Amino acid sequence: MDFAGFSRKLISFVTNTLLVFLLGGTSVGIPHKEEVVKCCDEVHPLAKSIGAVNTIVRRPSDGKLIEREGANGIVSHASSPISGKIFVLVGAGGAGRALAFGAKDRGAQIVIFNRNYERAKALASAVSGEAFQFEYLNSFCPEEGMILANASSFGMEPNINQSPVSKEALRAYRLVFDAVYTPRNTTLLQEAAEVGAFVVSGVEMFIGQALGQFILFTGGPGIKPPHLSG
């Protein structure tokens, strides 16, 4: 059985049926952010260049499915400008692409590591960055105070003891972000905090994205996010 083909057909059926007839919008998660682009009638220019979406809204006037730009993640959490900073990205899927384009817009120097080197090179080319083989990640240290963003599945349940970067290598980073939110306090974030880095979890990004989507889905006012701790 062609499971990949079946999955694509199922995504199309669910997206078009549920959104057109039942729902006002939907949030799109891993691993469907790239495939679901094909189901949209209109796509935001940024999402089109990224090649992935995380938010789809049904337009009431004609029922068309409209992609709307979602939260950008780490770039909105950085406590200081990232322009000119080396932004090391692990992962080149939908979330990784969104982070890469967001960092590019803010003037960061983007360096991409991915287990599939060809995908890393393709994304690096799209954002005028550099790509390296994944096995060189721990030895990559051209300067201190870099920014690290993990957009891979390293550390996600059930593999909670995994981390894409060794604890010793984390000493080169000032800010470490992990898009993984189950668990919230990943091994990567624990070890980064232990060596003195400022850390941001995927929960912050997830909640920020959800609040933005709430406004798009309901047309109502936003909600002030709760204080996040621990």
Mark whether 33 is an active-site residue: yes
Q: CA 219: distance to chain centroid?
A: 25
148 token code pair: 């690290």
For 75, the token pair is: 């770039």
Q: Where are the domains positioned within the chain? A: 3-70, 73-205
Edge to edge, the sheet with strand 55-58 lists: 25-27, 55-58, 65-67
**Helix, strand, coil share (%) of the chain residues, nearest 5:** 40, 15, 45
Dihedral Cα 208, 102, 144, 121, nearest 10 deg: 130
38: exposed, middle or buried (Cβ count in 10 Å: 0-12, 13-18, 19+):
exposed
* Cα 64 to Cα 226: distance, rounded to the nearest angstrom: 33
pLDDT tens, N- to C-terminus, the chain (230 residues): 444 454 555 555 555 555 555 567 777 776 777 788 887 888 877 778 788 888 888 777 655 555 454 434 445 555 457 889 999 999 998 888 888 988 998 899 999 999 999 999 999 999 999 999 999 999 999 999 999 999 999 999 999 999 999 999 999 999 999 999 899 999 999 999 999 999 999 888 778 778 878 887 777 765 555 554 44
The architecture that CATH gives domain 73-205 is 3-Layer(aba) Sandwich (3.40)
pLDDT at 214: 81
Name the active-site residue from 9, 33, 64, 167: 33
Please answer whether residues 85 and 108 qualify as being in contact, where contact means their C-beta atoms are separated by less than 8 angstroms. Answer: yes
3-70 against 73-205: fold identical:
yes
- CATH number of the structural domain 3-70: 3.40.50.10860
- Give me the long-range contacts of 137-143 (CB less than 8 A, separation at least 24): 137/88, 137/90, 137/113, 137/164, 137/165, 137/169, 138/165, 138/166, 138/168, 138/169, 139/169, 140/88, 140/111, 140/113, 140/169, 141/169, 141/172, 142/86, 143/86, 143/172
- Specify the pLDDT at position 38: 81
pLDDT at 205: 78
Q: What is the largest CA-CA distance in the chain?
A: 55
